[in-house]
C-alpha cells in the first residue's frame, strides 16, 4: 500500500518510515516533526531547532513556516539510543527527557528553559542575551523563572554561560559603591568632580556638571523595568533635554563591566557640549560631591 502511494505521488519520503502526505513541499515545522518521528519514541526537537520553533531564534525568513528543508535539525534522544540520519544532529541525553519535554504546535520539543540552556554554548554573549530577551518578550519565561531552570540543571552544558548572563543583568552595587566606581570613570574621562544629588529642573539627579550642562543617571537593579518606571524615566529625561541639558543613563552592569565604553561615552559627550557653557542654570543645590 505504501509503495503504491509513493508511486502515485500521494506519499513523499522524508526519512525511512516517515512520509509527507499529498505534497512534497514541506514547511520547516513539517521537517521538524518528521525528524522527531524518525528518531523514535521519546525524541524531542532541541537546541537551535527548538529555539526557532519557540520563536526565540528567528528563521532566515523571519518565521517558522518557511518552505524548504532546514539545513540541520537538532533532536535529543534517550542516551542509550543511536541514530545516523541525514540532516539530523542527534543529541543523546544521559538523564530523563520527560521533565524537559513539551508539546508546542503539535511537536514534541524541549521546554523554553532547557532550550536556552542547550543553545547557550553555541551563541555569542550578545546572541544569547537577545534570545533570553526574546523569550521574556514572548512570555515564555522571565529571568526569575530562567534562573530556577539554571539551578535545576546545574552541571549541564550551557548553565555557566546563562548564569554569567543572569548575574550580569541582575548585578547590584550599593549607592556608595556605584558612586565611587562611576566617579573613577569620570576621572578617567578627564571630567571635573561632579555635584551629586542636586535638584535640576525639579528632578533630583545622580551626577551633575553645571558648566557642561550634563546630567548622568545610573539605573538601579532592574533586569527589565516596569512600563510605569520606564515612562517616568522618559518624562524625566525629556524634561531635562527640553531645558537644555544633556542626559546620559548607565546601568549598574555598564559601570561594573563596560568601564571603557562608559569612559568613551563621557569623553565624547563632554567634548561636544564643552563649548556651550551657561553660568546661570536655575539649579537648586541640595548636596555637592
pTM of the model: 0.62
Residue 74 neighbours by CB distance under 10 Å: 25
Domain that holds residue 262: 175-273
- Considering the domain architecture, whether residues 96 and 150 belong to the same structural domain is answered as yes
Question: In the listed set 145, 169, 193, which residue is the last one of a domain according to the structure?
Answer: 169
Give the total number of structural domains in the chain. 2
- Considering the domain architecture, whether residues 16 and 138 belong to the same structural domain is answered as yes
Give, to the nearest 10 degrees, the angle between helix 143-152 and helix 112-119: 70
- Considering the domain architecture, whether residues 131 and 145 belong to the same structural domain is answered as yes
Residue 103 has pLDDT above 90, yes or no: yes
Residue 275 has pLDDT above 80, yes or no: no
Question: Average pLDDT over the chain, rounded to whole?
Answer: 83
- Report how far residue 193's alpha carbon sits from residue 197's, in angstroms, rounded to the nearest whole number: 13
Banded pLDDT at 164 (limits 50, 70, 90):
confident
When mean pLDDT is compared over 24-33, 82-91, 109-118, 230-239, the highest value belongs to 109-118
**Is there a domain that residue 281 lies in?**
no
**Is there a domain that residue 288 lies in?**
no
Dump pLDDT digits (tens) for 183-207. Answer: 999 999 999 989 888 899 999 898 9
Dump pLDDT digits (tens) for 111-153. Answer: 999 999 999 999 998 899 889 989 988 999 888 889 899 999 9
Tell how strand 101-104 and strand 107-110 pair up: antiparallel
Dump pLDDT digits (tens) for 40-52. Answer: 888 999 999 999 9
- Considering the domain architecture, whether residues 232 and 94 belong to the same structural domain is answered as no
Q: Which of 143, 111, 109 is nearest to 128 (CA)?
A: 143
**The pLDDT value given to residue 276:** 59
Amino acid at each position: 500500500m505504501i509503495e503504491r502511494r509513493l508511486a502515485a505521488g500521494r506519499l513523499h519520503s522524508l526519512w525511512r518510515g516517515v512520509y509527507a502526505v499529498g505534497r512534497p513541499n514541506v514547511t520547516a515545522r513539517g521537517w521538524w516533526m518528521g525528524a522527531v518521528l524518525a528518531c523514535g519514541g521519546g525524541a524531542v526537537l532541541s537546541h537551535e531547532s527548538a529555539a526557532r520553533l519557540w520563536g526565540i531564534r528567528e528563521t532566515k525568513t523571519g518565521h517558522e513556516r518557511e518552505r524548504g528543508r532546514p539545513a540541520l535539525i537538532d533532536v535529543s534522544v534517550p542516551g542509550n539510543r543511536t541514530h545516523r540520519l541525514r540532516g539530523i544532529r542527534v543529541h543523546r541525553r544521559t538523564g530523563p527527557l520527560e521533565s524537559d519535554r513539551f508539546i508546542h504546535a503539535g511537536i514534541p520539543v524541549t521546554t523554553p528553559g532547557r532550550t536556552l540552556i542547550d543553545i547557550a554554548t553555541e551563541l555569542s554573549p550578545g546572541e544569547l542575551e537577545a534570545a533570553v530577551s526574546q523569550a521574556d518578550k514572548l512570555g515564555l519565561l522571565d529571568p526569575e523563572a530562567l534562573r530556577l531552570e539554571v539551578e535545576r540543571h546545574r552541571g549541564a552544558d550551557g548553565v555557566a554561560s546563562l548564569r554569567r548572563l543572569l548575574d550580569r543583568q541582575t548585578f547590584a552595587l550599593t549607592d556608595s559603591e556605584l558612586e565611587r566606581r562611576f566617579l573613577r570613570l569620570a576621572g578617567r574621562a578627564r571630567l571635573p568632580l561632579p555635584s551629586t544629588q542636586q535638584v535640576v529642573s525639579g528632578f533630583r539627579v545622580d551626577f551633575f556638571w553645571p558648566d557642561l550642562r550634563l546630567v548622568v543617571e545610573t539605573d538601579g537593579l532592574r533586569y527589565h523595568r516596569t512600563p510605569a518606571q520606564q515612562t517616568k524615566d522618559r518624562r524625566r529625561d525629556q524634561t531635562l533635554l527640553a531645558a537644555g541639558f544633556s542626559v546620559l543613563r548607565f546601568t549598574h552592569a555598564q559601570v561594573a563591566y563596560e568601564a571603557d565604553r562608559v569612559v568613551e561615552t563621557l569623553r565624547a559627550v563632554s567634548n561636544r557640549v564643552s563649548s556651550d557653557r551657561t553660568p546661570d542654570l536655575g539649579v537648586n543645590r541640595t548636596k555637592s560631591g
